[in-house]
Every structure is written in structure tokens, then in C-alpha cells.
Structure 1
Amino acid sequence: MPGDLPVKRGTLALLLVSAGLTGSCSSTDVTTGFAGLSGTFDVTLANNFVFVTSSDRDELRVLDLASNPRTFVPAPNPLEALSIPVLDRPDALTRDVAYNAEGNDVPGPYIYARSSGSSEVSVVASARDQLRQVARLQAASIVTAFAARSPAEGSGGPSTLYYAIQDPDGIFSADTGGARVMRQELPGPDALQAAEPAAIPEPVTVFCLQPGESILAMTMLAGQGQFAVATRQASGRSGRTLLVTDLGPVADCLQPSAPTHDLSEGFGNVPVRLLVSHPRIVIPNVEAINAGRYIFGIRDEASCSAARECSGVLAVDTESSPPGQTARDLSGAPMLPIFPAGGLPTGLALVPDAPLRIVLDDGSTPPLTVPLLGVMPSSNGYISLFSASDLRQFDLSGASARSSVALLDSNEQPVVIETADLVTVTQDQTLQSTVLYEGSVPNGFYRIIYQGALPGLSGLPRDLSTPRLFEAEASAAASARAGDIIVLEGPDVLCAVDLPIASVEPVAGTTRVRFAIADSQEIPTDCASLTRFTVRVGGDQPFVLFNEAGTFLSRDVTGASSYSIPTEYFFHADTFYFDDDSNPQTPPVPNLSKFPQPPPPLRIRVAAVGREVRRGDRYAVTVISGIRNYIFTPDSTAGTGLAFYTLPGPVVAAQDRSAKMAYIAYPSADGILQVGFEGLTDNRAQSLALVPFE
């Protein structure tokens, strides 16, 4: 039965088996540092330094990861932190990126800074003895995105900066086409600093965009001269994601260039606003994944008013056939979008061979190294970690999807009666058995109240001059029907005699309905003076269903009736797809016998009324997905020093397979937050594993 399938965690389980190869470390090193940051909009990491914008002061500051305690690089006056003056209002950074023959990250000599709406790019030397701006480039138009390639390992060659600009043509100048990608060769820092500005080679155009199109994001890839770009049309509603190969200069942009591959379909034809790739991924007992095979992108919510279908993180596979299809996760199925725990993604980093503390269901904390860890902050303050090597969220729970039912009285106190089995929670459409399909069952809490009051029909006024007249607005009474119950009430008293509703009738010429009671129904003398009434469900549907927030869902949940909750797969178990022909050239196929597609809705039903159930008693139904993702948030309570760390921005981590930390820019705090992977606990507010630098 699908509900009884063991939870699959892919490489998580595999890596735990070999956990003895991984040593346990402290959650973080001793750190200190204050630099007076102001305007921390972006971060990048190169040569064991974290570079951060201090935009309000037109500068960069540098956190030294090799120092102990960890601190900002000092200025010549050691009482102050080093300031690197750059262009005005820097708000975006990038660094030289390349991969060697083994697929490992090759650092370069430069990091780069730009500012929204500016046509300048600052070039900053990133070596320990050269931390300064060595050039400021002036582009022909506004720079909208950039990425850079390191010199080939040991070559001593130039760095290559690619930057995207808007249409550079002036009103009265000749038309050379629209937006484009420029290539700028940059010699090493010593040569660059010694050379006259005129000695820097002129930039050349290498790729031309369609009319009305501009580039929002870029990332370097492992292939020679290859990079990816995410474009946007002026409307903001459409755009392309392209794999581009630098084939040399083009004379002008009167005709758009043809990309090497259009990757848009792999992202669901949704525009992308951030692109990230990765070094070689090494997974024990599994064939390694080549550097740059996957291109991860944050889809742009603005393209469809933040609807779910155009949000989240997806990856495309540059080695699929044809290239650019949605990457397949560990199950063999096209990966599902990875959504944050609320809010919108504000950054994305991929960390190779990241040591991560996990807590299993039994409380044990075995050491774990994740081949490629995804780190995704979001605008609601939460930070999500996911298995980028598995191309899906973590599932840290060993339990399957399940439900539990408790009978409570009107005061929410337990009632000890054997009636819990009367409630069914299942995806079996016949309602004959309990079936829950892993990865499709949403967490939820529901109350099913016996003879509960209908929403909008509580404490309604009653005219004592017409004692048998009971009316309400038709919109509020839409769920009322014959067989329901009128209960007369006063400030502190309820009538002991119910008045069954014989019919619900529209009142001619009004927007109201009348609850008629039988002519033979007498109103008790001691209830005649009560001035209000409430309509409660009765008859053959005597239960009312509410969700955890108290929102009315349904009153038809008894007997043959049930309430349906739409479902969709949000996690793929390992056996979601399977190999049906043992041919490695053909993709796996859906395992429909275990995981029907789409999944059937979740149905909640009360089979019958328990003999001893009283008015106001309720079944408390808890539905648990069985999937536990890895999320956390900074603990902003007093005394943690993290009160202003509420709105995270971009995130970076070292790419040399030694990273134990990630660094997140926090514009809300004018600071950087260091996240120690080995000190975290999932689904809790964190402080001990987090260190701020401001």
C-alpha cells in the first residue's frame, strides 16, 4: 500500500551509511568583526574573502575567513576596517569563475561590482595583497547583468568579463541594434594596474538579443566560452533562458543572435531572475555529475503576479537529449519546483561537499556530507536547505503520510469514547480503505464539530412580537437546510428545547430567507423571552467541518458524503518512476501502480454519528505529510543579537569543497550572517550556529 511505503531519502540514506568517513566538527569558529556596513545588498566569495557591498558609502568591505577570530580585513590604520572605494551605490557583485579538467572551481584574480541603472563596472583585485579597485570600466549603456571567467588554471592569461547592456544607440546615432552581451578581456592585476587605461582592450559584442529584450541574470558554465543568460521582454511577462557560446565578435546587433540552446522550456517557459551552476558533483557509489551540467534558476514571480506556477527553483539538464530539458531528480521524474517555506526566494547558493547536521526521528545526529547542498533564503525570513545533488527537497523523516483522530468536548478536552474509527482520512476514492500517497498529502488540522453552528448564523436577533419568525440574509444561510436546529438563547442562557427547521424559504422582495418551523412545534414558555437564536446543523448531516484557522469548509461529511482536499505531488519518493526496460538510453517511466498521476484528492468523512457524541463534541483530525524539509530561521528574540536579521538577501559559500559555512547578506540589518552547517537544527529558530558581522 502506498501509505505504507518506507520514506526514501536518496543520497541521504546512502551517505549516512558512510558517515564514519566524515568527522564531526564544532558548529562554528570564534568570530568577531564590526565594519559599520550600510547597504548590504550583495555578497560574493573569492580567495577566502567575503566581499560585501556597503552601498551607502560607495564601497566594499572584506571579511577575512582565514583569520582567527574571523574579522574584517583591517585598513592601514588597524583600528578601522579596510574600505575599497568603487562605483557609486554598488548593489551587485560577481567573481571570476572557471572549472579545471577535474571539474573543480578555479578562482580568478578579480571580483566585480555594478550598480542598478549605471553603465560602470568596478574591477577589484581579490588577492590578499591587492585588495583594491584596479579598473573602472565604462560601458556604452546601462549594465543589467554580468558574469566572468577565470583564466585557465596556471595559464597566467586574462580574465574574461561578460556583461549585458541595454540598447547603446543614442537618439541621433546610427542604429546598431538592441541590447547585447559584451566581452571584456582583462589582464592580471599587476599588468592592469601598470597599464594606461587605453591599454585595456576594447570590449567586443558577442551576442545580440531580440528587440525589446534585456538580460536580467547570467552565470558561467564549464564549456569553453559558454555561459547562460536569462532575458526579459520590456513587458516583464515573458523572457527566455539561453545557453550561449562565445563564437567571437559580431559587427553589430541588427539581427538577433542564435543561442546554442534555448533552455526556456526546461523552466516551464517561465522567465528566470537568477541563475546558478556548480562544480563537479561527487556522489559515493554513483557516477559523478559533470561541472555545469545543471543550471539552477529562480523563476520570476513577477511574470504572473507571484502565482505558484511561475515561482520556485528549477534546474535544467544541459546533457539531456535534447539539451535543456527539466532535470530529473533522484526518482527519475522531472524535478518539482523547490519552493521556499513562504515568501519569495531572495538568493541561491550551491555548496559542494557540504557537512550538514541532521536530526533523525530518534534524535540521533549522524554526520553527513551532502554532495551538493542548496541554500535558499526567502523574504519571510526563513532559510531552506535542499539536496541540489538529488534535485529535490530533503525528507528528514522516516515516517509515512498518516492521520490521527481525537475526540474532544466543546472545551477541547479529551473524551474517552471508542468512536475515533468513525472518521476516515484517505485518498481511496471508494472510501473503503486508508490509502495515502507519499509526497502528495498536505499537512493539515481539522475540526469536525457535532451539531456545530453554521457560520454567520450565530446570535441572530429575534423579534419577540413575531415569536415564530426566524430570518437571516440568504448569503449567510446558503448551507442551512431542513433538519437543522434553531437554538434560542439569551446573554447567559440557552433554551433546552431545540426547534427543528422544517424548511428554508426565500422572503419575497428581499435578500433574506426564513427558517420555518412546524406548526405543531411549540416554543417553551421559559424560552419565549430569549431575544437571539443560532442555527446548528442537524438531520442526516449533523457535522460541520472547519480548518485550523476556523474557516468553514463543509457540512456534508457524513455517511456517503465526504470533503475533498485537492492534492498534488510536492515530493518524489525514490520509486516514483522506475526503469521498465533496463535500457540506459531510455528514461524511466511513471510508477502508476504506486503513485497515480495526478494523485486523487484527500477525502475526510465521518461514517456515522457515535452513540455517545454530544453537541459541541468534535473530532480533531491531524493530517501529517510524512515529509520533513530542512528549514530554519534566525532567532530574533532578545539577547541573540539577531533582532534585525529578518529580511535576507543573496547568499554565497566557498566552492572548493571545504565550505562549512554560508554567508547571507541582510539589508534589514546592514550585516552579513554566517551560517554554520554543522550547528543547525531543522525547523527551529537558530542562534548558536549563526554569527552576525556588521
Structure 2
Amino acid sequence: MKRGTLALLLASAGLSGSCSSTNVTTGFAGLSGTFDVTLANNLVFVTSSDRDELRVLDLESNPRTFVPAPNPLEALSIPVLDRPDALTRDVAYNAEGNDVPGPYIYARSSGSSEVSVVASARDQLRQVARLQAPSIVTAFAARSPAEGSGGPSTLYYAIQDPDGIFGADTGGARVMRQEIPGPDALQAAEPAPIPEPVTVFCLQPGESILSMTMLAGQGQFAVATRQASGRSGRTLLVTDSGPVADCLQPSAPTVDLSEGFGNVPVRLLVSHPRISIPNVEAINAGRYIFGVRDEASCSAARECSGVLAVDTESSPPGQTARDLSGAPMLPIFPAGGLPTGLALIPDAPLRIVLDDGSTPPLTVPLLGIMPSSNGYISLFSASDLRQFDLSGASARSTVALLDSNELPLVIETTDLVTVTQDQTLQSTVLYEGSVPNGFYRIIYQGALPGLSGLPREPSTPRLFEAEATAAASARAGDIIVLEGTDVVCAVDLPIASVEPVAGTTRVRFAIADSQEIPTDCASLTRFTVRAGGDQPFVLFDEAGTFLSRDVTGASSYSIPTEYFFHPDTFYFDDDANPQTPPVPNLSKFPQPPPPLRIRVAAVGREVRRGDRYAVTVNSGIRNYIFTPDVRAGTELAFYTLPGPVVAAQDRSARFAYIAYPSADGILQVGFQGLTDNRAQSLALVPFE
């Protein structure tokens, strides 16, 4: 097992614990419109948007069920504003960095200017206030009262101003602060008044806020903004320094975090409580701000996707957080699709399966869980700021010699070259963390791309032409093979030169004057150009895409790679080499042995046309991903499109809860019952 929190904890865990079993429970509340979830007081609040209400799953009941209504045959309904589709809760951290719960959760609806305030205590569970914001609310976050103070909660919400109600010159969009007295004060015989909201931060013209998260510092929160075009935006750390009189000028953020996120707009922000790691200095609450980057800002390109974290304690603050290697962390990508949610869970117990099949106990200091739009769910080590690598193997490649039908051949070597029994190829240099899993075919005398089955005129038998763009990979020494319907000429025609045809976009393949065309081949109406000469191989990937014909020698093809994971062998010295890690960023592709020096013992022949080396490249990286088992009979058939995810931050979480709009339900994920890289059913429990 490799270095890092995972390895350290496994080494120290010994046999001191085992995975606890979980009770399978069920619940039905008739949810309709499960667009968001939040968790407070061991209660999971979920939207039932089509019914303008919230439902509540009780995590302390046994079996686990929805909180009943006064009529116990029905689940409790909490009426809120119309079409609720986003939830948040009071968040704060005490001096020890632990999460301090507050008395409220909040609901809003896209395109609405209202916010529902719901008491989250078990004996209250009702809407206690409905706030009317000055304009459309686009994001919100809330701070709990100081621990034991009994003071008010503080709601921050972002608004747009499309109608110019604040005046044409004020820029419009802003962050408002709203103090909310406690539930007892609001529900007293003489209810306490709710103060008027005040502006605390002004945005640039045309800018709006997509996401907010509370931080540990007093009055600190982070916001992710977007310009009207959707192509640009900022991520900002803001300190509430008091009311702003007007928004004639945009406010200056405390820290601009945009560069730390690669100057890519962010669409979801999440922070964390204090993290304790054995034998490592603790990480303060809110030090890292994790953001899901917005793919829409650059047409879903990979460089604008994934999860990154910025470090609020770096120098200067707000730089990309650094992982175990000391290098800036790499984006954490989902296993296909786009991220649909993100939650961070302190001290999470997780079941892992090692290469030898053992399942040692593990507690992850900070576990990240990220559902994605293709149905997969990724777990990663947020405390290590990288994906899990559950494999002890290094990057490696294997090769098999196959015939044109891809049946295996047995290799027998001569004295001129040695091919070992494990069939390791020559010149194999694979850097773990930079080489993805892949499968390649190196085909001997393979047809060149775009040069198969080209027409020829038998009346001009020595004329062979093709479009120059298709012939870019052809060269002298390659082979012309004449073809007809179910007929292939037995005599190859070596190409002497490749020459442009004046006044056209075509090239001509010239054969030597001394080269005769066999009489029985002269009438064939098509030809194919195959690799020959000193580079007789053609390299294709698994999808059949042509990659190169230069696969032997000093200038042979190399797999174009970039690091997607920093392994334990990765080295980064910020002082000695601040820009480029000294580990090469290129992995050399395996080379086949010289083909004419190999005998195939099974058939007693030399390697012939169409034989190929099948190369399998293994990254040596095994991430932690899984998906619900949607087969019939598992009760999970509709759990295909996950949404937001939530889990407790009080260091006792053994479960996460994911909203599934596709199923009108929420899915309970039991960390200690999971098996990575498999479809799951026993560790997942639906509540609908």
C-alpha cells in the first residue's frame, strides 16, 4: 500500500476494529421533486418540490423512517414557499473547529424572491418565517448563533436586480445580511420583530452569485460569481465588515480566489470542520475551500471541470491547495459525466478492499463524496487532496503477439533478440499517475489511414493517386497492394517516391520502372497502401483511431500524457524547481521487437502481414468509484441521475444521503458496506 493518509492509517490500524453491520430500513413519504437535501439534528430534510413542501427523514428512528405527521399513517409535511429546489442550514465552527448546529434550515426556489425559514428542532419542524427579499434570490448560506449564546442566526443571500429596483446606477446584484431571532422568540405570544436586511457586498455590473458557503472566520463566507455571458466569473472570500450604504462601486473582496481555481468559474462551493490526521498537524476548520468548476464556461472542456481546493492559509492566501507531494493539487474528476453534488465528511469510516482481498478498517480524516451525471459516485481523500489509489501496483504494460484474427501466437526468439517469457517490451517507460489505462494495437504492415480501397484505372496501370491530406503518413518504402472483389494480389508493389501532382490537391505514389505488375493483377480496380520499409508498423488505439507509424527507434511514438494523480514517487521541490516537477511528464510507449528476427513456433513462420502486438497499459491507479445496481429486483432501477449529497459533520457520520430527481427519492449510502468499482445494492437504501 502506498504512502499518504490511506497507507498511514492502514499501517496503524492493525486488527483493532472491524466493519459494523448496518440495519436495512425503508421509508415511503410520496416524495415528488427531490432536488436538494440538507441535514441537521440527525434529520435529513428533502424537497418535495411538486407539493411545495419539505419531508424529513429521521436518522434516530429504528427502523429509519420519515418523521410522521400528527396522523401517524402519513409522513410529516412542512409547507414552504412554492417549488422549493434549494436548501441550506445554519453553519458555524467553535474554537475547537467542530461544527456548531443552528436552529434553522432555509429553502428557496429558482426565480423566486422568497426564502422559507424552517425550525429544525425535532419538537418544532415548521416554517416559522417567510422572508421577502428585495429581488430574485440566487444563492444563500447561513451562520449559526455563537455556541450557547442563544443569539440570532445570520442568513446571507445573494440577489439579482433585473428590474433596477435599487436604481439604474447601482449595479444591482449584491449580498444581503438578514438577522433572524431564535424560534422561541419568533413563536412567542408577542413575536420578536425580524430586522430589515442590509447590503454587505456589492457585485460588478452584470455579475450574479451561483453558490455560497460559510467559513470559520467571523463574518467570513465565500461566493462563486458568474457574468451574464456565463463564460467568466470570480470566486471570492468575503468578510462582512458592516452595511454598505450603496452599490455605486463594486466591493473589494477580502481575497480573490479565482487564480487558485485556475481562473475557471466555480458553480458549487463547500468547506469543512477541523481535520485531525494521525502524526500530522491538524488542518483548521475552513482552511480549504473546495469548488466544483463550471464546465459550461468553456463548452464542457476537461480543463474547466473537476473539483479543486484553494488554501486560505497559503502565502498569499487563496492559492491552489498542495497535496502530499507538495505540488498544487490536481483536479479530481468524476468517473465520467459531470459532478452533480459534493460533500465533505470528517472522520468517515470506510470499507476498502486491498489487492489481496483483505478489508482493513479505515477512518478517513476528511472524505469527499461526489455524485456525477452518468450515475457513478466517486469517493476521494479530501484530507490528502487527491483521489484514492487502492492498488499497490505500479504502472505497467503487457504485450501479446496475435495473428490478424487476434488469436494468440507463441513467440520463439533467435540469437539476435531476446523476448522474455513475461513478454515485456523494449523501451518501456511508464510513469505512474500520468499513463491512463489503455489498449493499443501495433499492426505489422497495417493499412495506412485513408488509403484503403482507393480506386485505380486498369487502363493506366502504373498510376496510383490519393488526396494529399489522406496520404500524409505515406512514404517511400511503403507497399501498394492491388485488390478486387474478394481478390488480393500476391505481389506487393514497393513505393519508390511520393510526389505532389501539379495543380491539384493530390499526390502520386510512384513505383520503380523495373517493378512489373503481374498480368493477373493488372485488371484489379482498387489498391491499398500499407506500412513498409524501416517503419512497417501502424499504431492504433482501442477505438481504432490511428496514432502513429513511428513506433521503433529513438524517435518512436510516446504516449502523450499529463499527470492526473500524484503518486508516492512523484517529487516536487518548490524551491529547487518551482515550475516543473523533475519527474518527466511523458511516458515512452512500449516498442515491439524487430519483426523479422522473431519466429512463431506454433506455425513455424515469420511474423506476417496483419499480425499485431496487443499492448495493454495499466495505470497502476485504482480509484474509489461505484454505482447503484439498477437491475430489476434491486429497487434501485430509477436511481440513475444523482443530485446533491449531504452527510453529518459531527464526526459520527456512517452514511451519506443523495437526492435523486430521477427516482423522486433519496439514497442512503453506507460507507462500511461498499465495495469499490462495482454496482452496489446492499450498502444502498432508498427512501421515497
> Would you say same fold, with TM above 0.5?
yes
Q: Which deviates more, 181-190 or 573-582?
A: 573-582
Q: Which deviates more, 83-92 or 169-178?
A: 169-178
Q: SS where residue 130 of structure 1 aligns?
A: coil
On the 8 A contact 1:482/1:502 being kept in 2, the answer is yes
Q: Which deviates more, 375-384 or 21-30?
A: 21-30
Per-residue CA deviations over 1:526-551 (Å, capped at 9, x if unaligned) read 44454433222112211111001000
- Distance in 2 (alpha carbons) for counterparts of 1:441 and 1:601: 26
Note closer, same or farther for the CA distance 1:32–1:53 as it changes in structure 2 (3 Å cut).
Answer: same
On the 8 A contact 2:427/2:590 being kept in 1, the answer is no
Q: Percent identity?
A: 95
Per-residue CA deviations over 1:425-453 (Å, capped at 9, x if unaligned) read 99999999543333222322110000111
Gaps of 5+ in 1: 1-6
Deviation at 1:369, TM superposition (A): 0.6
Per-residue CA deviations over 1:150-177 (Å, capped at 9, x if unaligned) read 1222222211111111238746958655
1:4 maps to none
Q: SS where residue 688 of structure 1 aligns?
A: coil
On the 8 A contact 1:159/1:187 being kept in 2, the answer is yes
Deviation at 1:196, TM superposition (A): 6.5
- Distance in 1 (alpha carbons) for counterparts of 2:662 and 2:102: 31
On the 8 A contact 1:660/1:677 being kept in 2, the answer is yes
- Distance in 2 (alpha carbons) for counterparts of 1:603 and 1:203: 83
Q: SS where residue 118 of structure 2 aligns?
A: strand
Note closer, same or farther for the CA distance 1:569–1:670 as it changes in structure 2 (3 Å cut).
Answer: same
Per-residue CA deviations over 1:602-651 (Å, capped at 9, x if unaligned) read 99999999992111110111222212211122222232222222221111
Per-residue CA deviations over 1:382-415 (Å, capped at 9, x if unaligned) read 2111100011111111111121221111111111
On the 8 A contact 1:486/1:536 being kept in 2, the answer is yes
- Distance in 2 (alpha carbons) for counterparts of 1:229 and 1:451: 58
> Could you tell me the TM-score, scaled by structure 2's length?
0.90
On the 8 A contact 2:353/2:359 being kept in 1, the answer is yes
Deviation at 1:127, TM superposition (A): 1.4
- Distance in 2 (alpha carbons) for counterparts of 1:604 and 1:269: 53
Does residue 378 (structure 1) correspond to residue 396 (structure 2)? The answer is: no
Deviation at 1:600, TM superposition (A): 25
Does residue 476 (structure 1) correspond to residue 474 (structure 2)? The answer is: no
Per-residue CA deviations over 1:210-241 (Å, capped at 9, x if unaligned) read 23222211111111121111122222222222
Per-residue CA deviations over 1:292-315 (Å, capped at 9, x if unaligned) read 111111122222222222221111
Deviation at 1:574, TM superposition (A): 3.9
Note closer, same or farther for the CA distance 1:412–1:657 as it changes in structure 2 (3 Å cut).
Answer: same
Deviation at 1:580, TM superposition (A): 9.0
Note closer, same or farther for the CA distance 1:475–1:57 as it changes in structure 2 (3 Å cut).
Answer: same
- Distance in 1 (alpha carbons) for counterparts of 2:422 and 2:555: 14
- Among 629, 633, 651, the residue aligned to 1:635: 629
Q: Which deviates more, 628-637 or 382-391?
A: 628-637
Q: Which deviates more, 159-168 or 541-550?
A: 159-168
- Among 27, 32, 38, the residue aligned to 1:38: 32
Q: Which deviates more, 351-360 or 31-40?
A: 31-40
- Distance in 2 (alpha carbons) for counterparts of 1:197 and 1:546: 74
Q: Which deviates more, 59-68 or 482-491?
A: 482-491
Deviation at 1:289, TM superposition (A): 1.0
2:652 maps to 658
Note closer, same or farther for the CA distance 1:514–1:467 as it changes in structure 2 (3 Å cut).
Answer: same
- Distance in 1 (alpha carbons) for counterparts of 2:668 and 2:224: 29
Q: Which deviates more, 430-439 or 58-67?
A: 430-439
On the 8 A contact 1:135/1:193 being kept in 2, the answer is no
Does residue 352 (structure 1) correspond to residue 346 (structure 2)? The answer is: yes
Q: SS where residue 475 of structure 2 aligns?
A: coil
Note closer, same or farther for the CA distance 1:601–1:195 as it changes in structure 2 (3 Å cut).
Answer: farther
Note closer, same or farther for the CA distance 1:375–1:169 as it changes in structure 2 (3 Å cut).
Answer: same
Does residue 555 (structure 1) correspond to residue 549 (structure 2)? The answer is: yes
- Distance in 1 (alpha carbons) for counterparts of 2:426 and 2:491: 38
Note closer, same or farther for the CA distance 1:258–1:466 as it changes in structure 2 (3 Å cut).
Answer: closer
Note closer, same or farther for the CA distance 1:680–1:593 as it changes in structure 2 (3 Å cut).
Answer: closer
Note closer, same or farther for the CA distance 1:394–1:555 as it changes in structure 2 (3 Å cut).
Answer: same
Q: Which deviates more, 660-669 or 250-259?
A: 250-259
- Distance in 2 (alpha carbons) for counterparts of 1:211 and 1:657: 42
Does residue 111 (structure 1) correspond to residue 105 (structure 2)? The answer is: yes
- Distance in 2 (alpha carbons) for counterparts of 1:162 and 1:305: 31
- Distance in 1 (alpha carbons) for counterparts of 2:534 and 2:503: 31
Q: SS where residue 14 of structure 2 aligns?
A: helix
Note closer, same or farther for the CA distance 1:450–1:174 as it changes in structure 2 (3 Å cut).
Answer: closer
On the 8 A contact 1:576/1:590 being kept in 2, the answer is no
Note closer, same or farther for the CA distance 1:427–1:134 as it changes in structure 2 (3 Å cut).
Answer: farther
Deviation at 1:472, TM superposition (A): 3.4
Per-residue CA deviations over 1:651-687 (Å, capped at 9, x if unaligned) read 1111111111111111222221211111212222222
Per-residue CA deviations over 1:333-354 (Å, capped at 9, x if unaligned) read 2211111122221111000011
Q: Which deviates more, 167-176 or 427-436?
A: 427-436
Deviation at 1:117, TM superposition (A): 0.9
Deviation at 1:244, TM superposition (A): 1.6
Does residue 123 (structure 1) correspond to residue 117 (structure 2)? The answer is: yes
- Distance in 2 (alpha carbons) for counterparts of 1:11 and 1:598: 39
- Among 597, 611, 616, the residue aligned to 1:603: 597
2:304 maps to 310
Deviation at 1:148, TM superposition (A): 0.6
Note closer, same or farther for the CA distance 1:610–1:143 as it changes in structure 2 (3 Å cut).
Answer: farther
Note closer, same or farther for the CA distance 1:211–1:412 as it changes in structure 2 (3 Å cut).
Answer: same
Note closer, same or farther for the CA distance 1:163–1:30 as it changes in structure 2 (3 Å cut).
Answer: same
Task: List aligned pairs for 1:448-487, cutoff 5 A.
Answer: 448-487=442-481
Note closer, same or farther for the CA distance 1:170–1:538 as it changes in structure 2 (3 Å cut).
Answer: closer
Aligned pairs, number: 688
On the 8 A contact 2:417/2:593 being kept in 1, the answer is no
Q: SS where residue 267 of structure 2 aligns?
A: strand
Per-residue CA deviations over 1:221-268 (Å, capped at 9, x if unaligned) read 111121111122222222222222222223222233232222222222
Q: Which deviates more, 593-602 or 672-681?
A: 593-602
On the 8 A contact 1:22/1:368 being kept in 2, the answer is no
- Distance in 2 (alpha carbons) for counterparts of 1:597 and 1:389: 39
Q: SS where residue 17 of structure 1 aligns?
A: helix
Note closer, same or farther for the CA distance 1:198–1:663 as it changes in structure 2 (3 Å cut).
Answer: same
1:295 maps to 289
On the 8 A contact 2:446/2:610 being kept in 1, the answer is yes
Q: Which deviates more, 459-468 or 316-325?
A: 459-468
Q: Which deviates more, 602-611 or 369-378?
A: 602-611
- Distance in 1 (alpha carbons) for counterparts of 2:554 and 2:598: 11
Note closer, same or farther for the CA distance 1:585–1:203 as it changes in structure 2 (3 Å cut).
Answer: farther
Note closer, same or farther for the CA distance 1:638–1:561 as it changes in structure 2 (3 Å cut).
Answer: same
Q: SS where residue 578 of structure 1 aligns?
A: coil
Note closer, same or farther for the CA distance 1:251–1:581 as it changes in structure 2 (3 Å cut).
Answer: closer
- Distance in 2 (alpha carbons) for counterparts of 1:657 and 1:420: 64
- Distance in 1 (alpha carbons) for counterparts of 2:593 and 2:171: 49
Task: List aligned pairs for 1:89-100, cutoff 5 A.
Answer: 89-100=83-94
Q: Which deviates more, 456-465 or 266-275?
A: 456-465
- Distance in 2 (alpha carbons) for counterparts of 1:442 and 1:339: 13
Does residue 394 (structure 1) correspond to residue 383 (structure 2)? The answer is: no
Note closer, same or farther for the CA distance 1:607–1:187 as it changes in structure 2 (3 Å cut).
Answer: farther
On the 8 A contact 1:645/1:666 being kept in 2, the answer is yes
- Distance in 2 (alpha carbons) for counterparts of 1:597 and 1:372: 42
On the 8 A contact 1:340/1:384 being kept in 2, the answer is yes
On the 8 A contact 2:599/2:607 being kept in 1, the answer is no
Note closer, same or farther for the CA distance 1:161–1:433 as it changes in structure 2 (3 Å cut).
Answer: same
On the 8 A contact 2:87/2:107 being kept in 1, the answer is yes
Deviation at 1:374, TM superposition (A): 0.5
Q: CA RMSD for the aligned pairs?
A: 4.9
Deviation at 1:22, TM superposition (A): 5.8
> Could you tell me the TM-score, scaled by structure 1's length?
0.90
Q: SS where residue 602 of structure 1 aligns?
A: helix
- Distance in 1 (alpha carbons) for counterparts of 2:686 and 2:463: 67
Note closer, same or farther for the CA distance 1:424–1:103 as it changes in structure 2 (3 Å cut).
Answer: farther
On the 8 A contact 1:341/1:382 being kept in 2, the answer is yes
